[in-house]
Structure 1
Amino acid sequence: MFVFIKLLLNQGHELNIFDTDNSLAGNIAAETGSSAYNSIQDLLSESDTVIICTPIGITPEIIEEVSSNTSRDLRVVEISSIKNQTVLALERNSEKITPLSLHPMFGPDVDSIEGQRIVIVPVIDRDREEKFTRELFPGADIMVLDAETHDRSMALILSLPYFMNSVFLRCMVDEDLTLLRKMGGPTFRTQLALAHTILGEDPLFVESLIEDNVYAGDILTKYIDELKYLRRMLKSRPKKLVEYYEENKEEMKSDPEFSNARHIRNLFLQENQE
């Protein structure tokens, strides 16, 4: 939420803020020179566009509430990381509101929207929704995906890495991390730093990424099956692991970024050491 406040203020927009925690809304408004409201109804009466920044699981409910409390063509933007249910909620209320479903693919440290990727999941009118997105976030790198493609991609991009790194961290709990970090090379240090970053996320957000994405279950099952297969391989025919490794290597060679992997890893390490 805070990155959006910063970006929109930088573009000269006037912001109205509502949160169920009125004191939080008041503090944010005071810090940013915005206006805080104690009810959704009051906020809607003074706004032409509403950006919903709520936990994934309750976003459809908030869309319904916003839609039922406006009698004009309000632009309602939701920015959740999973789209299946939120897009359906926007569709159901498209006669009351002008819907827009976005997924900003950047983090909280961004100072400018220029070149930052935003995914649009069309709800009713792709052209109108893309036009509005470009007006609201000029200079952004826009990508358009349907809800199914988006959510399945998120299962691989977000759900699986969070799951993998959570397990990795549990394996480190009883170990001497100071010793391991001193002994570890760039691969271990990169993996550890990456795993640590997930601990900065809201646990409810991480839970939603795994539980609320209908495609996550199949992806995680496939991951667990591969682990079991590797475990059996190590117990029975260790030499076969070489074949497995080489098969992966051949498959990944079709990825144009494959040859740059070490360079990207080194850049990541440099950034985390500064």
Structure 2
Amino acid sequence: MFVAIIGGAGKMGSWFARYFIEHGHDLTIFDINMDKANLIAESLGIKACKSSAEAAKDADLLLVATPIEVTPKVISEVALALKEGSILVEISSLKSMVFPVLKEISKRGLRTLSIHPLFGSGARGIAGEKIALIPVNDLRLEEKLVREIFPEANIIPVDCYTHDKIMALTLSLTHFINIVFASVISEENIHMLKQLSGTTFTLQLILSEAVMTEDPSLYASIQMNNEHTIKYIDKFICNVLKLKNIIENRDSEGFTQFYNEVRRALFRNSDFEAAYRRMYHALKAIR
């Protein structure tokens, strides 16, 4: 299969380039950062095209790995260059913006796949990694196709609305919390904090430091292009202020009630003793 990747010089684009090469496919890439694309192409022994249309014209499968804001436009453009029956795969973190375009181009004889790799470019391979599949037209056919392309991955079907709503929690809110946490501790003596930290702080710091290594434009895009983000940030701030008020008033009974209500809701279907053990296992694996 001949594969083309648009955005092939980015972190995920280059990750998928290596994946397809390792699985025996012919490959070409295009990226607006031509210098970087040429370097990556040279390192992989492949060709870097000078335009997205050039990359798309002979592709059996074209994967779009571009920033969320430009993905709909990129899809519309490359679809014109694809041959009938080709597979167009897009991997954006949010789906509501791209779905109308995917619906439209699928009418032209193209097979469309909307997936969200739930892992980063640091993953060593795809075996066991999770990929969300957001069906565009036919779940059965699209799930069969994505399993053929990524047979070792754990495929999780989910509709567009539910996907973006969940991403507001698992991405937007999580990033928000970690960025704010990092902004507070960055004003302190981090060396001393690390020396005196326990398990909870150590794991939280690792998470925040990892978040702060990423491209801020990507995180800004995830925050600002998800219609559900502000709702959950508002809810978070409301609960922050509620707990702050309890602490300011030295209301031990109120604190205990707040804590127990959250714990009951959180662990209704979970084993919190196992969660505590997993925390220590995670820290042991990191150290």
| Equivalence map 1:75-114=2 (5 Å) | 75-96=87-108, 97-114=110-127
| Equivalence map 1:133-212=2 (5 Å) | 133-212=146-225
Which moves more between the two structures, 164-173 or 261-270?
261-270
Q: Cα distance, 1:167 vs. partner?
A: 0.6
Structure 1 position 11 matched with structure 2 position 23: yes
Q: Cα distance, 1:206 vs. partner?
A: 0.6
Q: Tell me what 2:286 maps to.
A: 272
Runs (4+) of structure 1 moved beyond 3 Å? none
**15, 33, 43: which one pairs with 2:55?**
43
> Contact (CA 8 Å) 1:186, 1:269: kept in 2 or not?
yes
> Contact (CA 8 Å) 2:95, 2:164: kept in 1 or not?
yes
Is the alpha carbon distance of 1:71 and 1:114 closer, same or farther for their aligned partners in structure 2, counting shifts above 3 Å? closer
Q: Tell me what 2:262 maps to.
A: 248
3-state SS, counterpart of residue 207 of structure 2 = helix
> Contact (CA 8 Å) 2:57, 2:83: kept in 1 or not?
no
3-state SS, counterpart of residue 112 of structure 2 = strand
The one-letter code matched in structure 1 to 2:75 is I
> Contact (CA 8 Å) 1:7, 1:111: kept in 2 or not?
no
Unaligned runs of 5+ residues in structure 2 are: 1-12
Q: Deviations over 1:214-264 (max 9, x none)?
A: 111111110011111112222235221111111112222213253222222
Identical counterparts, % of pairs? 32
TM-score of the aligned structures, taking structure 2 as reference length:
0.91
Q: Tell me what 2:71 maps to.
A: 59
Is the alpha carbon distance of 1:32 and 1:59 closer, same or farther for their aligned partners in structure 2, counting shifts above 3 Å? same
Unaligned runs of 5+ residues in structure 1 are: none
Q: Tell me what 1:121 maps to.
A: 134
Once superposed, what is the RMSD of the aligned Cα atoms?
1.4
TM-score of the aligned structures, taking structure 1 as reference length:
0.95
Q: How far apart, in 2, do the equivalents of 1:257 and 1:44 lie?
A: 49
Which moves more between the two structures, 227-236 or 144-153?
227-236
> Contact (CA 8 Å) 2:58, 2:83: kept in 1 or not?
no
Q: Tell me what 1:28 maps to.
A: 40
Q: Cα distance, 1:91 vs. partner?
A: 0.7
Q: How far apart, in 1, do the equivalents of 2:280 and 2:211 lie?
A: 20
Matched residues, number: 273
3-state SS, counterpart of residue 142 of structure 2 = helix
Q: How far apart, in 2, do the equivalents of 1:71 and 1:189 lie?
A: 52
